């Protein structure tokens, strides 16, 4: 089973969690990763630059109509929702906030589920609201794999706890374990 | 046939029906966006599938009107992206000042917040008396609200912050009269704004203008439609006219990329070449 994309949603505590994740993922990690991190609408994206310092993979803001490519990491721009089209390109919208958030994790996850069906991995990390809970439900309905950060290991437990309470994630893991699992899923053992 | 094919077919059939019956053309909109809107409306109305929704749209005028509102984006702010308005003052106003009269087209103005922002800037720059702002949208309901110029107090707080960040030096409250939970924009701002119904997808060139602002509208369109609308803007602009797009929009994927120079790359402000 080869996965074609990973979507990650996170809110408070997310930047530290992402820093950990991207300092550990190897340079040849190939499944594209698409991230919603709740952030101020006026953020200047310095935090992406900081993540890039310690990351072997290149993180960039997703552009409108950009084609999703292997080995790349895309981040939703502040004050826009990020969606994935079935032709695996990005769309941005300025629609109403969802769960008080723009970008919203649900909006990304639901469109990603439609685009990638069972070839998608959805990950919910630390955060303090319930954005993402509906999104991972949709991923699961479409046959994708879902992973929640173990709330006990999360800087902010509410978001993964909410996702776990209403869905049944395939995995509930610490950040270290999530990293190891993603690396394993990226390089399936060929028999 | 897989599920996926079925729902894609149902969506295009629904959009075709909307176009044939009501004349509104969403066939070249971003699919993911349309799908989200349809799914939300289905859930709200307790409909089971898209074909059921299609027949309701064809037979129930009120439902159809609501659905058209769903597909029209009315999220906007005054001085959205303060950095853009700062650049407008610094890089574009000096160009506009050289003209004896100034015509500006706000395409997709929705409820009018950005048109009022423009009027404020032109007034502060002493140019408003020789300016006409054409503010257009296909959503008549939004246009009616824009014309009224009534905005809620909590929103005005946000707009005030935006205004100050954009380099505004007046007291923002000079521009409106407050009444309980709402404010109404000054008549002096409204006087040179012409509100008009215009559909970027189905209508053509609107007027010859010195500047076009169309921010966060084209992101909803596919490549073909973006190209078509960019051609309309190009044909509307005088030589060396100015085109302003949303902060995440570009000309890169259009045929017109070579026909403009960049006035401010980051703020997506372009100048039409001679």
Residues B123-139: tens digit of each pLDDT: 999 999 999 999 999 99
Beta bridge partners of A51: none
Check if A12 is active-site: no
Give how far the C-alpha of residue B45 lies from the chain's centroid of Cα atoms, to the nearest Å.
28
Do residues B39 and B89 share a domain?
A: no
* pLDDT interval class at A188 (50, 70, 90): low
CB atoms within 10 A of CB B153: 13
User: Which token pair is B274?
Assistant: 């001679």
Residue B76 lies in a domain: no
Do residues B61 and B97 share a domain?
A: no
Residue B167 lies in a domain: yes
Interface confidence (ipTM) of the complex: 0.90
Which domain, by its residues, includes B151?
A: 82-272
Q: Which residue among A38, A101, A111, A156 is the active-site one?
A: A38
Task: State the average pLDDT over residues A170-176.
Answer: 98
How far is it, in rounded angstroms, from Cα B157 to Cα B160?
A: 5
How far is it, in rounded angstroms, from Cα A60 to Cα A55?
A: 12
Residue numbers in A near B4 (CB within 8 A): 86, 114, 117
Do residues B92 and B66 share a domain?
A: no
Check if A38 is active-site: yes
Residue B154 lies in a domain: yes
* pLDDT interval class at B6 (50, 70, 90): confident
Do residues B105 and B191 share a domain?
A: yes
Torsion angle defined by CA atoms of residues B206, B207, B210 and B214, in that order, rounded to the nearest 10 degrees: -10
Do residues B137 and B184 share a domain?
A: yes
Do residues B26 and B115 share a domain?
A: no
The pLDDT score that the predictor gives to residue A44 is 85
Do residues B154 and B47 share a domain?
A: no
Nearest CA in chain A to B35: A111
Dihedral sign of CA atoms B135, B140, B144, B149 in order: negative
Check if A111 is active-site: no
Q: Which of B26, B48, B71 delimits the end of a domain? A: B71
The pLDDT score that the predictor gives to residue B1 is 42
Beta bridge partners of A53: none
Do residues B64 and B179 share a domain?
A: no
CB atoms within 10 A of CB B271: 20
* Contacts with B98 (C-beta within 8 Å, 6 or more apart), sequence order: none
Q: Which residue among A101, A106, A131, A156 is the active-site one?
A: A131
Put residue A99 in one of left, alpha, beta given phi > 0 → left and psi -120 to 50 → alpha.
left
Do residues B244 and B117 share a domain?
A: yes
Q: Which of B71, B91, B115 delimits the end of a domain? A: B71
* pLDDT interval class at A191 (50, 70, 90): very low
Nearest CA in chain B to A102: B75
Do residues B124 and B205 share a domain?
A: yes
The pLDDT score that the predictor gives to residue B254 is 85
Residue B77 lies in a domain: no
What is the domain count for chain B?
2
**SS3 state at A170:** coil
Which CATH fold would you assign to the domain A5-116+124-181? Rossmann fold (3.40.50)
Q: Is the pLDDT of residue A168 over 80?
A: yes
pTM above 0.80, yes or no: yes
Do residues B65 and B10 share a domain?
A: yes
Residue B148 lies in a domain: yes
pLDDT tens digits, B69-92 = 999 888 999 999 999 999 999 999
| Helix orientation angle between A46-54 and A14-24, rounded to the nearest 10 degrees | 30
Q: Which of B50, B71, B92 delimits the end of a domain? A: B71
Q: Do A64 and B249 touch (CB under 8 A)?
A: yes
**SS3 state at B266:** coil
Do residues B19 and B150 share a domain?
A: no
């Amino acid at each position: 089973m080869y996965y074609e994309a990973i979507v990650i949603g996170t809110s408070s505590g997310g930047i530290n969690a992402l820093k950990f994740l991207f300092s550990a993922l190897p340079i040849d990690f190939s499944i594209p990763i698409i991230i919603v991190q709740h952030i101020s609408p006026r953020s200047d994206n310095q935090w992406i630059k900081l993540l890039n310092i310690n990351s072997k993979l290149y993180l960039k803001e997703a552009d409108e109509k950009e084609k999703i490519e292997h080995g790349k990491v895309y981040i939703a721009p502040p004050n826009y929702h990020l969606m994935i089209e079935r032709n695996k390109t990005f769309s941005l919208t300025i629609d109403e906030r969802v769960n008080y958030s723009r970008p919203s994790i649900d909006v990304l996850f639901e469109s990603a589920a439609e685009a990638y069906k069972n070839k998608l991995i959805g990950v919910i990390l630390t955060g303090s609201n319930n954005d993402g809970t509906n999104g991972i439900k949709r991923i699961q309905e479409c046959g994708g794999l879902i992973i929640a950060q173990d709330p006990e290991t999360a800087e902010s437990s509410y978001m993964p706890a909410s996702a776990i309470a209403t869905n049944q994630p395939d995995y509930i893991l610490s950040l270290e374990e999530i990293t190891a699992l993603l690396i394993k899923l990226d390089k399936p053992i060929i028999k | 046939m897989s599920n996926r094919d079925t729902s894609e077919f149902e969506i295009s059939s629904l959009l075709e029906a909307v176009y044939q019956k009501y004349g509104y053309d969403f066939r070249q909109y971003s699919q993911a966006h349309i799908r989200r809107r349809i799914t939300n409306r289905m859930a709200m109305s307790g409909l089971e599938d898209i074909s059921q929704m299609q027949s309701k749209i064809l037979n129930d005028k009120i439902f159809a009107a609501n659905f058209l509102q769903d597909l029209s984006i009315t999220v906007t702010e005054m001085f959205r992206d303060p950095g853009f308005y700062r650049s407008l003052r610094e890089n574009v106003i000096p160009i506009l000042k050289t003209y004896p009269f100034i015509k500006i087209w706000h395409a997709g103005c929705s409820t009018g917040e950005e048109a009022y922002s423009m009027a404020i800037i032109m007034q502060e720059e002493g140019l408003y008396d020789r300016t006409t702002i054409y503010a257009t949208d296909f959503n008549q309901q939004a246009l009616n609200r824009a014309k009224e110029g009534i905005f809620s107090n909590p929103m005005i707080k946000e707009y005030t912050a935006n205004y100050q960040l954009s380099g505004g030096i007046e007291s923002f409250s000079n521009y409106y009269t407050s009444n309980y939970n709402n404010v109404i924009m000054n008549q002096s701002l409204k006087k040179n704004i012409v509100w008009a119904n215009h559909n970027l997808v189905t209508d053509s060139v609107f007027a010859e203008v010195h500047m076009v602002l169309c921010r966060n509208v084209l992101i909803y369109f596919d490549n073909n439609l973006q190209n078509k609308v960019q051609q309309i803007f190009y044909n509307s602009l005088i030589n060396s006219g100015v085109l302003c797009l949303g902060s995440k929009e570009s000309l890169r994927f259009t045929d017109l990329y070579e026909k403009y120079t960049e006035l401010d790359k980051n703020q997506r402000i372009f100048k039409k070449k001679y």
